[in-house]
Structure 1
Amino acid sequence: MATKILMLGAGGAIARHVINYLKDEKNVKLTLFARNTGGLAEQAPNASIIKGDVLHKSDLDNAVKGQEIVYANLAGQIDKMAGEIVKSMEAAGVKRLIFITSLGIYNEIPGKFGQWNERMIGSDLIRYRHAADIIEASSLDYTIIRPSWLTDKNETAYETTQKGEPFVGTEVARKAVAAYIVNIIEHPGKDVKASVGINKPGVYGDKPGFY
């Protein structure tokens, strides 16, 4: 039986890499949900495409129903979206959530890099933290992902840290984050009820090299 996966914010850059990894997998049934669905049907001809808004309850409820894994790759009112996703999944009895937030939400970045990150992201960190708090208080089997500063490099190397551990890596490729997400989809028992930092191994410093 194919695993039914709903991707919210499927037009996002990380999501596009996840789609590329999964689009030809016979044991996966993809549903791609986005406000702007342009190009999705061409990228993944076998996927179901839904044009919708996470903050429109009927759009979200209809998409979530019958799914097994929900992967959310969203921006904007991220805390409000997290609340709606939790409510919709709990009502539908869908348990497994993969949700992208931001590094720095737990003040987990030591030293100058932490100070720089806080300055750069600013008040958005509060919204990302609130989203994580909502998900962590839910009954879902969640994995919250906190990626480092993102690059478009064609590489898949990553290392992870758990909540409560210091976060030191200054960058990570979107393709590498996608590789981690696909690994979770293929092994849904991994990193359950976890908040996971993800960064490129060996690239540490006071700020990302591209700044």
Structure 2
Amino acid sequence: MKVLIIGAHGKIGHLLIGELQSRNIEFVAGLRSQEQIKAYNENNIETQFIDLTASLDDIKNSIEESGADIIVFSAGAGGASDALTIEIDLDGAIKTMMVAEAIGIKRYIMVSSVFSDNRNKWDASGIRPYMTAKHYADDHLRGTSLDYTIIHPGTLTNEDGTGKIKLLGPNENDTIPRVDVAKALALIIQNSSTIGKEYTFASGDQPEEDIFS
């Protein structure tokens, strides 16, 4: 097992690195700049350059070079612009799915968002382009041949994790520390029974191990 974290420099991706290290799971950090790669290499973290705005062939070469057999997609434009959000969160995500299918990587785990499938909530979110991108990326993933899992965490915070969550309904939201999202991803990576499932969740009182096992 070797996990490629696409978006490893993001907050959740960075926390996932720590989770995988604590579990002795082999991984490679997918990064979009040489400065990031240099910094991670200095900390003895294996890296792979991946530019989600690049051509399909370039992305294919990058993912093949990583040697991974599991992809976690946690990349995003971070609100830089609506155009870049569509290019990275939607088109970039779909290109990695196309590559995974083409080269035989079956396992694909998507970090999505709460309300990505609830259009009635998009305008109120204030980030409609992001919600749109997530919705259609998720929908594309469901139609692939990949062994996917999609997570829809609630409103993200930087608070200390509790390791306990609750499942949410389609019209519900609550907060969750990013570190608990990273833990969820690590548990999902280790558990094949999560394949083909989607989870919407926030902080609660149920141990994550009970839900993702």
- Verify: 1:193 aligned to 2:196, yes or no: yes
2:130 to 121, 124, 134: 124
Measured in 1, the distance between the counterparts of 2:188 and 2:171 equals 20
Measured in 1, the distance between the counterparts of 2:127 and 2:141 equals 21
Structure 1 residues 98 and 29: CA distance shift in structure 2, 3 A: same
User: Given that residues 5 and 13 in structure 2 are in contact (C-alpha distance below 8 angstroms), is that contact kept between their aligned partners in structure 1?
Assistant: yes
Q: Which has the higher helix share?
A: 2
Deviation at 1:201, TM superposition (A): 1.5
The letter for the 1-side match of 2:27 is L
Residue 48 (structure 2) aligns with: 50
The letter for the 1-side match of 2:167 is T
User: Given that residues 158 and 177 in structure 1 are in contact (C-alpha distance below 8 angstroms), is that contact kept between their aligned partners in structure 2?
Assistant: no
The letter for the 2-side match of 1:40 is Y
Residue 40 (structure 1) aligns with: 40
Can you list the C-alpha shifts for 1:55-77, whole angstroms capped at 9, x where unaligned?
Answer: 32344213333422100111123
- Structure 1 segments of 4+ aligned residues over 4 angstroms from their partners: 114-117
Structure 1 residues 5 and 119: CA distance shift in structure 2, 3 A: closer
Residue 20 (structure 2) aligns with: 22
User: Given that residues 3 and 26 in structure 2 are in contact (C-alpha distance below 8 angstroms), is that contact kept between their aligned partners in structure 1?
Assistant: yes
User: Given that residues 5 and 70 in structure 1 are in contact (C-alpha distance below 8 angstroms), is that contact kept between their aligned partners in structure 2?
Assistant: yes
Deviation at 1:103, TM superposition (A): 1.0
Structure 1 unaligned blocks of 5 or more = 109-113, 203-211
Identity %: 23
User: Given that residues 103 and 148 in structure 1 are in contact (C-alpha distance below 8 angstroms), is that contact kept between their aligned partners in structure 2?
Assistant: yes
- Verify: 1:93 aligned to 2:110, yes or no: no
Deviation at 1:105, TM superposition (A): 1.6
Deviation at 1:140, TM superposition (A): 0.5
Structure 2 unaligned blocks of 5 or more = 77-84, 206-213
Measured in 1, the distance between the counterparts of 2:113 and 2:121 equals 15
Give the root-mean-square deviation of aligned CA atoms: 2.2
Residue 205 (structure 1) aligns with: none
Residue 206 (structure 1) aligns with: none
What is the TM-score normalised by the length of structure 1?
0.80
The 5-angstrom pairing of residues 156-167 of structure 1 reads 156-161=163-168, 165-167=169-171
- Give the length in aligned residue pairs: 188
Residue 208 (structure 1) aligns with: none
